[in-house]
Structure 1
Amino acid sequence: MRLTCPLCGERDRREFYYQGDAVSLNRPSPEAGVDAWDDYVHLRDNPAGETRDMWQHEGGCGAWIVVTRNTVTHEVLGTALAGPAAGARI
């Protein structure tokens, strides 16, 4: 798979580190109960179709990017720098 870093251009996927869901993963408050923390640490959705994921260009510029991709076809639909304007958690 090839990903396009908005700063460095197209690169091999091995330069990037997958960080997970860019939209819906919300860290519980420190006072949240054991069940909330257990769900946060261990439970993840595994959707078929279009997803938005956080990746870090670890082997390059270090930028955090949001990758929109299709988990069924493995097609990368787009990339953008992560941040509040991108609708991603940071």
Structure 2
Amino acid sequence: MRIDCPHCGVRDRREFYYQGAALARPAPDAGEAAWDDYLHLRDNPAGETRELWQHEGGCGAWLVVTRNTVSHVISGVVLAADDKGSRA
């Protein structure tokens, strides 16, 4: 699998560190149930997901990668700081 880093270009996925699903944090006062879900519960979908990756072996940038978990086809990569998409 190859990931197209916005700073470094296309690189092998071994340069990147997978951090998990790209989720929005609950508000500090969201309540115990919301924080419990955020910290401990994760979906395991077959299909398109939004994931957080770090280009650890390169520029160090944090990326939101949109990837199909069945085919491993990557349909989008954006810097996490520039990500304007919905996080679910």
TM-score, normalization by structure 1: 0.76
1:8 deviates by 0.2
**Matched length:** 87
In structure 2, C-alpha distance between the alignment counterparts of 1:35 and 1:74, rounded to whole Å: 32
1:86 deviates by 3.1
**Amino acid in structure 2 at the alignment position of 1:67:** V
Which residue is 1:76 aligned to? 74
CA 1:82–1:2: 2 relative to 1, 3 Å: same
RMSD: 2.1
Which residue is 1:9 aligned to? 9
CA contact (8 A) 2:64 2:83 kept: no
Structure 1: gaps (5+ residues): none
CA contact (8 A) 1:82 1:88 kept: no
Give runs of aligned pairs for residues 1-90 of structure 1, distance below 5 A.
1-22=1-22, 25-29=23-27, 35-87=33-85
